[in-house]
Amino acid sequence: GQQVMQIPQYQHVQEGEDFTTYCNSSTTLSNIQWYKQRPGGHPVFLIQLVKSGEVKKQKRLTFQFGEAKKNSSLHITATQTTDVGTYFCPGAGSYQLTFGKGTKLSVIP
Amino acid sequence: NAGVTQTPKFRILKIGQSMTLQCTQDMNHNYMYWYRQDPGMGLKLIYYSVGAGITDKGEVPNGYNVSRSTTEDFPLRLELAAPSQTSVYFCASLGGIGVGYTFGSGTRLTVV
């Protein structure tokens, strides 16, 4: 699969603060998917972005796909303790996904 | 729909023992995958299958074997378990382009 770098690796925020994680690829992506893994849990599919410049929202979560389709971001507004977990944006190959370490989000109540 | 079901949830093996991790899905998905996740790390692809009778190696296949005799089942076999195989194993399936993977709840394996 394509290599996608994700930053930051860790983020600690106070509950109510915003949070953003970024994914960058050196090559053009056909699409990008986002997953969330709660501590002790399994990855859960959140969303897929396909179009250049696409923006999708899921309640407090906003997902963006860059105009050049080489980067993507996930922004969480007013974090809650339920947002705790690791967020992944795996690189896509031919029906395969390559998962990096993701961004581990901790929320301090 | 149960989705992707993995058994067992936990297992402790002694070095040199063998075991099979079971994975079954009821969504009629053609694509199935086995990943392992070490603490604090991402998921690494062990093996995958694009349909019954077809399997292929992923990034870390050594020490593992798979088979895919039916669409529903994709068991992962560990032969001669080693401490380096201590990990959490996730099975996943994919229904097609445009939808994400569905993961099982994982098998936590410890080799001592």
To probe the interface with B, which of A99, A101, A105 has the most B CB atoms within 10 Å? A99
B43-99: per-residue pLDDT in tens? 999 999 999 999 999 999 999 999 999 999 999 999 999 999 999 999 999 987 778
B4-34: per-residue pLDDT in tens? 999 999 999 999 999 999 999 999 999 999 9
Instruction: For residue B19, give both structure tokens.
Output: 């075991």
| Encoded amino acid at B32, one letter | M
Say what the alpha-carbon torsion angle B13, B14, B15, B21 is, to the nearest 10 degrees. Answer: -20
Contact between chains at A42 and B90 (C-beta distance less than 8 A):
yes
Contact between chains at A33 and B100 (C-beta distance less than 8 A):
yes
Point out the residue among A43, A46, A102 whose CB comes nearest to the CB of B103: A43
Q: pLDDT at position A1, please?
A: 63
Q: pLDDT at position B76, please?
A: 98
Task: Give CA separation, A89 vs B19, B36, B74, B87, B108, in Å.
Answer: 32, 17, 25, 21, 23
DSSP string, B8-59: -SEEEE-TT--EEEEEEESS--SEEEEEEE-TTS-EEEEEEEEETTEEEE-S
Per-residue model confidence as pLDDT tens for chain A (109 residues):
678 899 999 999 999 999 999 999 999 998 999 999 999 999 999 999 999 999 999 999 999 999 999 999 999 999 999 999 999 999 887 678 889 899 999 999 9
